[in-house]
Amino acid sequence: MIDRYSRKEISNIWTLENKFRIWLEIEIAACEANTRLGLIPQEDLAIIKEKAAFTVERVNEIESQVHHDVIAFLTTVGEYVGPSSRFIHYGLTSSDIVDTALSIQMKQSGEILLSGIDRLLTALRNLATAYKYTPCMGRSHGVHAEPTTFGLKMALYYKEFERNRQRLVTAIDTISYGKLSGAVGTFSNISPEVEKYVCDKLGLKPAPISTQIIQRDRHAEFLSAIAITAASLDKLATEIRHLQRTEVREAEEPFQKGQKGSSAMPHKRNPITCERISGLSRVIKANMNTALDNVTLWHERDISHSSAERVILPDSTIALDYILHRMIFVLENLVVYPDAMMENIERSGGLFFSQSLLLKLVEKGLTREDAYRCVQGIAMRVWKREGSLKELALDDTEIASKIEPREMDAIFDLQAYLKNVDFIYKKAGID
């Protein structure tokens, strides 16, 4: 991921320096395990632990000749260690190191992402609480439907990101496995005790069964949790973008001091942060397809997954981390316009009361079809700006013959639509 969309805390996890550092940690832990089994002399282990080192530059230099990153790494470490290096990588295959290290990198990234989701949840909960009773128009197909509250909008996202968090927790557990079981996973040249020792030391669990690699359904699940979270961020960003439209302007992402919206039009205040979130979410969601393709490999292993993972895993985790923190910034500084929300509620002439009016006519003895016909007839006139729904209902002979004027007041009561807000919050476990 390019620097523009990267935060150092998570991008550092995916540097070659960090990857090789984890590789070295795994190799040394494996040497410790083999020493316990009597396969490596204590004095050689001491030399390995004291002298083992690398430089990224030297690894890259050797790889340019041998075209194998693990061999280049081992050769570099061997240059530092000397003769005792013959015991490093004893009984192992490249994927033992690469896949176990990759699990650690995914786990490290996942924990940072969880921290971001937690901050996002706090911001959403604060908005849900602050605007719990603030009426705003609910829309379906982009058209006024019935009133809701802005707090309920945010509460909905709060619960969605709770699910995203749980999915990520589960996915982190799914990828927190290592394997040191040899060329096709049969422990033909290495003891299972080595795998157990290394995994325990590194905070992983030994894969119950593997081939030369850890199976990629685990990685696909991890990418799935990331992609779904990105989709939710896109959904929330799109909501804010719609609310910021000039014709709506019920909420607005922060416009900072000194910020400029257009090179040509000084008046512009564009939802650029939310648009950026939507754009990067597309990259993450597209990477999910590659993760699914990586599940399918030839027999016990090929490396068609490897090159793709060098792109999709860093890019997806770094990009999600970035858009999480961009959305946190938006939510913590969101500008909300309750007066505009009420103006928009009133803009349609009370059309949203149509269902209440329909149900009252049904209670009064009309069939649903006849009631629908009556209400739709005057509703279409409201669209033509011939009056409000209440005014036209009072003037309609058929409707007025069924409903008394005093009953109309109860039908056209905005608060009646919001009477169950407390119940919904309690049901959602937000109160």
Pair 142, 31 in one domain:
no
Q: Is pLDDT of 271 > 90? A: no
Predicted confidence at residue 39, as pLDDT, reads 96
Q: Is pLDDT of 189 > 80? A: yes
Identify whether the C-beta of residue 272 lies closer than 8 Å to the C-beta of residue 358. Answer: no
249 φψ region: left (φ > 0), alpha (ψ -120 to 50), beta (else): left
Pair 97, 199 in one domain:
yes
Beta-carbon contacts of residue 349 (< 8 Å; ≥ 6 apart): 382, 385, 387, 388, 389
Q: Dihedral sign, CA of 327, 332, 333, 338?
A: positive
Predicted confidence at residue 228, as pLDDT, reads 98
The answer to the question of residue 425 being in a domain is: no
Pair 224, 175 in one domain:
yes
The answer to the question of residue 36 being in a domain is: yes
The answer to the question of residue 430 being in a domain is: no
Predicted confidence at residue 269, as pLDDT, reads 82
Pair 27, 152 in one domain:
no
Pair 226, 366 in one domain:
no
Q: What is the mean pLDDT of residues 380-407?
A: 93
pLDDT digits (tens, 9 = 90+) for 197-252: 999 999 999 999 999 999 999 999 999 999 999 999 999 999 999 999 999 999 99
Pair 48, 177 in one domain:
no
Q: Cα-flanking dihedrals φ and ψ of residue 334, to 5°?
A: -60, 135
Confidence tier at 405 by pLDDT (50, 70, 90): confident
Contacts of the segment 79-83: beta carbons below 8 A, 24+ positions apart: 80/51, 80/52, 80/53, 80/54, 81/47, 81/48, 81/51, 81/52, 82/47, 82/51
Pair 181, 299 in one domain:
yes
The DSSP call for residue 86 is G
Pair 46, 107 in one domain:
no
CA angle 241, 247, 252 (to 5 degrees): 35
The answer to the question of residue 380 being in a domain is: yes
Instruction: Tell me, yes or no, if 306 is annotated catalytic.
Output: no
Q: What tokens appear for 330 in the block?
A: 């938006």
- Domain of 18: which CATH number? 1.10.275.10
Question: The domain containing residue 86 runs over which residues?
Answer: 1-90
The answer to the question of residue 326 being in a domain is: yes
pLDDT digits (tens, 9 = 90+) for 168-186: 999 999 999 999 999 999 9
pLDDT digits (tens, 9 = 90+) for 21-77: 999 999 999 999 999 999 999 999 999 999 999 999 999 999 999 999 999 999 999
In angstroms, the CA 428 to CA 159 distance is 7
pLDDT digits (tens, 9 = 90+) for 255-268: 877 777 666 677 77
Pair 318, 357 in one domain:
no
Give me the chain's average pLDDT, please. 95
Instruction: Tell me, yes or no, if 67 is annotated catalytic.
Output: no
In angstroms, the CA 74 to CA 24 distance is 9
Pair 129, 76 in one domain:
no
Pair 224, 308 in one domain:
yes
The answer to the question of residue 80 being in a domain is: yes
The answer to the question of residue 423 being in a domain is: no
Residue from 68, 188, 262, 304 carrying the catalytic annotation:
262
The answer to the question of residue 209 being in a domain is: yes
- Tally of structural domains, the chain: 3
Q: Cα-flanking dihedrals φ and ψ of residue 140, to 5°?
A: -130, 135
Predicted confidence at residue 254, as pLDDT, reads 86
pTM, rounded to two decimals: 0.94
Pair 120, 59 in one domain:
no
Residue from 141, 263, 299, 307 carrying the catalytic annotation:
141
In angstroms, the CA 281 to CA 319 distance is 8
Tokens 């604060």 -> residue:
126
- Domain of 384: which CATH number? 1.10.40.30
State the amino acid at position 275 in one-letter form: E
